[in-house]
Amino acid sequence: MVQINNLDEYNRIKESNFGFLIIPDSDQNIFIHTPSCNILGDDNHIQQREEKFDSINMHWFSTISLAEKKFDKVKVCQECKPE
């Protein structure tokens, strides 16, 4: 597990297209995404994340099973459907 602390780390993970991102939404649901997920890809989303990095707990995991061990109620993104 790696906590993502800034936009540079976030962008490096997205560019590597390896592993899985755990990102809470505004309703406190926790979703797992692939780094190439279309939901995460638009500039507006990245800009919103940059403005809120201090208050958003984003994490990167190498496998889904590791993410599920850390977070009990992880929901699968319906856009990228990570497996």
Domain residue limits, the chain: 2-76
- Region 10-31 average pLDDT: 88
| Contact criterion met (CB below 8 Å) for 68 and 27 | no
Q: What is the pLDDT of residue 48?
A: 62
Summarised one tens digit per residue, pLDDT across range 33-83 is 999 998 886 555 555 655 655 556 889 999 999 999 998 889 999 999 998
Collapsing DSSP to helix, strand or coil, 60 comes out as: strand
Measured distance CA(25)–CA(41) in Å, rounded = 15
